[in-house]
Structure 1
């Protein structure tokens, strides 16, 4: 066996030695000009470009068979600037044809190529003539068939310019391998490149390369993987009059906010836009992308529906989506109407730049919606953003135990937000509604609330200071916490000056509540507040400051005839003053003094200095005696007073 292997190895070694000697001999007698011309002709046949060599030309046959051109420019198609410049272009030669004095390129390697792509207004580019030439060359039966099927790019740069859309992009540090096997019609490119500071790993394959170059339909698979975003497409492509693609698209990102920033897109606010995933059937026509069978996930929210994205000079997003549960809390977490930990309105200026970035038209429905601490049931929302104006419409929302409808709009004017709200709440829990909308915690019951408000400002405080409009509320079967009107009135009816009691405990039940308020420059004027309870009635007038969030109201509380034993009800004026969340409610002092049999004459005397005798009489009644001698004046008298 060993002897057989030795006999077999001797002819192989001999053949190898002959081949080496043939190569060495070929290198001595090789016509280098013919080799260079043959290589140039083959590259021209494949690329449609003419080589303009301004540097040295290296030719090697052994140990490596190649031709290297230094400082090469490839140009053509009538463009003034080269479409491609290469520091070193190396054509590796096939060994066997070389022994027969034929020059065939096995593959081409371009070191540090600089590729320039300029898109013209009509959609064509400076590369259009070259692509057409390649397509003609590669068609079956063409005169110049492709002799090599792989091009490698190392440390390349691509610069893209689109003056019509004012777009300039650059890919750098490109390492790619382009392959189109001669025995098939397919094409594949794999490699890596840098874009906007991120390394991108990409691949693309076409089932019919000639058809794709000619603009005809071809199967297409593409994948891009980077730290901010992963993107994949599997479908078909055509480009006759405009780009057309259809297939399945998938996208995935750990942070949509980072991905959008990486792509140069503004992101509204500073909350949310984290984990993102999308899978859909895509139909691309020009700059418009229609997505059907959409399944999208963002910040844990999952929805299904259809979407359309267009970029015709301005980005537009249209969508109709349905979800089981949505949580909007991440998107409003950084927006605070009130200053953190305080009762004052937030004075931080609005950031309205995102309102002018994209046009949006969205329809959204969900079985459950969460907004901060607010829980909503079945909800239908609409959002329209156009020209810096955002309009939100609520078709119907199960909210605060009732139904909410209305609209909310924000228009941008420089740094100022113009806000308009038209809202109607029907049969809602007034305690939850008044607390979340106005910070009022003392009201309970069920009822209706209507708001028609406008404001303009650069911060929540600015909006509160310019608030105009109206608010109406009706309620039933509830209570006002903080004081028991019936108990208070009965006690003060018996003893008007029994001021040691606590006026801020208990609650006042009511059967019906009616409120009508008008706002003007941040001041709420009470046009009518009426509270009718089983045994009491309250009416209020006055004002409330929205910027300072304080009441300045006066009212009248009265016992109804049933509570007064059939007699005319006892009436008592009272005052409501102080902050919205914890106001002071106390009887009108002048009214109490007048109702006291002993103190009423004193009040009249104080107002009229001429009635000194009445004053003296009242003082004697309080001190429990008649006139005192002068000697009694002193500490004892002071104590009596």
Structure 2
């Protein structure tokens, strides 16, 4: 009994093996018996029915039914129209359905395209070369026409030539799987491609492929992920009567600037545009993309609002955004107005090529704005960029303790950048405002500042050389820092020849200050500067150079007397040097006239000059004779004394004694023609001609005068003698 069971099992196993071998042998035999022409035509008919395109088979055909049925076609192309076919493949492998094959019918289960080249063209009228495929599916979606369940693409390339929208793209190394709606109604594309040198993972799903082909509404999901950016969309689309897409959009990029460069777009000039995160409700109608409920994060700035992007014609971005805290430091980080030493304007060439990338019309409101170390309060700004011309309108900005309004324009010109600005600062802290704008911190207090500037140049330095415009400043109850004018005037009133570096410290309070300036070719003309305080008054005029950042100003400082019957003390002065470190040079001639010690010396010089003009003087002592010039050097040609040297109080000396000592000195030239010589020279000369004069160290005794530094102005007392000469 047991032997019979074993024998039965062996016989059954042998029968099964024989059956399998017979099937395989039958399949192998059938594969040789099936006519290749019949297979070729059957495959062509299936492809034509499914795609709407006429396949052209140029290569060999091979049929294999073991281990599964498949047909391999070489050198295949789809399309029967003139020109380049929409699809060309090195080989096409069609996997056959097994049961229909046993019944003598050839049905294609799926297709694999090896190294295909897919061409998508759109002519100038908007017609695509794939129109027949789409229209064919639109007609046959509800029929019983066989269709593929899947199409695979191995190492394919996709070429897009859109003459209507001027789009030309190339995708390589495409390994895709297209789920053709043979059973379900959905259509999906998944896989990997390489675009512009970067690998991307893509996924597209249409919930109702037949409705989408007919232009009706269908759910749509889109996902693209790669190193440059990630993009996802979940919504619906329809193409009839016009393209309409709506849904939720999200996008992320570690660097928007690099992503734009990767896409072939030039980013805006400057820095920033790095980390990006976007979420919004999207509505696409035709060529217009509208984003609502926008949540945008860029370089750490979080904004909410609406955006609209018009892709038809010139690309234009419009929108309104609100930001709690806007940090503009990243975008201006590459802008260098001054060199590293901050002593000269930057001469590097300005790059404004990015202004021509797209048009922009953006309105922005921020609760706080940060620019480097500066901070502004509530700000409303409108930015307009069109045809390479950038305009920024400041509706209102709370900054520097006041309100800022105005407009700034920047554009590309034939000579580089074209700059224009009209800005008004109302009630601002002028020390912070002027200090951060121009690097000058000499005014403390609140006031108004108006600037109107325009210039052209290829660099910041070149712009400063062409600046034209005007500027006005007005303020009440402020102070000049770095100089105590009242203390200086009172000290010079008591001791005219006293001086020292302590004059460049302290503050000068005032009740009002007004300045009016004109700018032409980078040169500033101070037409009027009037400072009025309770104890001092300053009037100033002159010029300043913006390219050189230096000053050349002259003015008069007046010490207002407490008694109305007392004549006020007036001192002419000059301001020279760099903006951030100017020098104040008082008029030494006036100080010498007021000095009790130096006044007799001036009288002695006048007496000497008068004695030199006496007719009885011998030829050897006539003015201008070589002997005279060699014997007594001119006081204007002597070297300066060391800083800090002083003159002791000079007692009243008889004029003849002094005159006899210098009676042979030649007459001096007119004051306005003489070189500007510091009073130290004249004091030293007079001191050397007086035996009682002895140099002493600078002290605090009121009877000693410190030699001041500064230019020597004309002496009105010498005018009669100079005119007579």
TM-score (norm 1): 0.92
1:278 Cα deviation after fit: 0.5
1:433 Cα deviation after fit: 0.7
Counterpart of 1:113 in structure 2 is: 116
Report the Cα distance in structure 2 between the residues aligned to 1:26 and 1:237, rounded to whole angstroms.
48
Counterpart of 1:27 in structure 2 is: 31
Does residue 84 of structure 2 align to residue 85 of structure 1? Answer: no
Counterpart of 1:38 in structure 2 is: 42
Does residue 574 of structure 2 align to residue 584 of structure 1? Answer: no
Report the Cα distance in structure 1 between the residues aligned to 2:295 and 2:390, rounded to whole angstroms.
25
Counterpart of 1:508 in structure 2 is: 508
Does residue 538 of structure 2 align to residue 532 of structure 1? Answer: no
CA contact (8 A) 1:26 1:99 kept: no
1:59 corresponds to which of 48, 58, 63: 63
Report the Cα distance in structure 1 between the residues aligned to 2:394 and 2:39, rounded to whole angstroms.
76
Which runs of structure 2 are paired with 1:407-418 in the superposition (5 Å)?
Answer: 407-418=407-418
Which runs of structure 2 are paired with 1:141-152 in the superposition (5 Å)?
Answer: 142=143, 145-152=145-152
Report the Cα distance in structure 2 between the residues aligned to 1:629 and 1:166, rounded to whole angstroms.
97
Distance 1:585 1:104, change over 3 A: same
Counterpart of 1:444 in structure 2 is: 444
- List per-residue Cα deviations over 1:292-311 (Å, max 9, x = no partner): 11111100000000001112
Report the Cα distance in structure 2 between the residues aligned to 1:32 and 1:558, rounded to whole angstroms.
115
1:508 Cα deviation after fit: 0.7
Between structures 1 and 2, the one with greater strand share = 1
1:520 Cα deviation after fit: 1.2
- List per-residue Cα deviations over 1:161-208 (Å, max 9, x = no partner): 123443321111110000134332110110111111000100000011
Distance 1:147 1:621, change over 3 A: closer
Report the Cα distance in structure 2 between the residues aligned to 1:310 and 1:71, rounded to whole angstroms.
42
Question: SS of the counterpart of 2:445?
Answer: strand
1:599 Cα deviation after fit: 3.6
Which runs of structure 2 are paired with 1:198-347 in the superposition (5 Å)?
Answer: 198-347=198-347
Which runs of structure 2 are paired with 1:333-412 in the superposition (5 Å)?
Answer: 333-412=333-412
CA contact (8 A) 1:109 1:151 kept: yes
CA contact (8 A) 2:648 2:693 kept: no
1:58 Cα deviation after fit: 1.2
1:503 Cα deviation after fit: 2.1
Greater mean alpha carbon deviation, residues 166-175 or residues 19-28: 19-28
1:624 Cα deviation after fit: 8.5
CA contact (8 A) 1:605 1:612 kept: no
Counterpart of 1:425 in structure 2 is: 425
CA contact (8 A) 2:31 2:63 kept: no
1:440 Cα deviation after fit: 1.1
Please say which structure displays the higher CA radius of gyration. Answer: 2
CA contact (8 A) 1:288 1:309 kept: yes
Distance 1:621 1:585, change over 3 A: closer
Report the Cα distance in structure 1 between the residues aligned to 2:376 and 2:491, rounded to whole angstroms.
44
Report the Cα distance in structure 1 between the residues aligned to 2:212 and 2:648, rounded to whole angstroms.
113
Does residue 101 of structure 2 align to residue 98 of structure 1? Answer: yes
Question: SS of the counterpart of 1:493?
Answer: helix
Does residue 126 of structure 2 align to residue 123 of structure 1? Answer: yes
Structure 2: which 5+ runs fail to align? 614-631, 636-646, 663-687, 696-725
Question: SS of the counterpart of 1:345?
Answer: coil
CA contact (8 A) 2:516 2:526 kept: yes
CA contact (8 A) 2:598 2:650 kept: no
- List per-residue Cα deviations over 1:536-574 (Å, max 9, x = no partner): 111111111111111111111111233x68623211111
Question: SS of the counterpart of 1:331?
Answer: helix
1:69 Cα deviation after fit: 0.7
Distance 1:306 1:609, change over 3 A: farther
1:226 Cα deviation after fit: 1.0
1:589 Cα deviation after fit: 1.7
1:32 Cα deviation after fit: 2.7
Distance 1:247 1:12, change over 3 A: farther
Distance 1:8 1:357, change over 3 A: farther
Greater mean alpha carbon deviation, residues 47-56 or residues 248-257: 47-56
Report the Cα distance in structure 1 between the residues aligned to 2:691 and 2:192, rounded to whole angstroms.
101
CA contact (8 A) 1:539 1:556 kept: yes
Counterpart of 2:567 in structure 1 is: 568
CA contact (8 A) 1:352 1:415 kept: no
Greater mean alpha carbon deviation, residues 544-553 or residues 92-101: 92-101
Alignment root-mean-square deviation, CA: 3.0
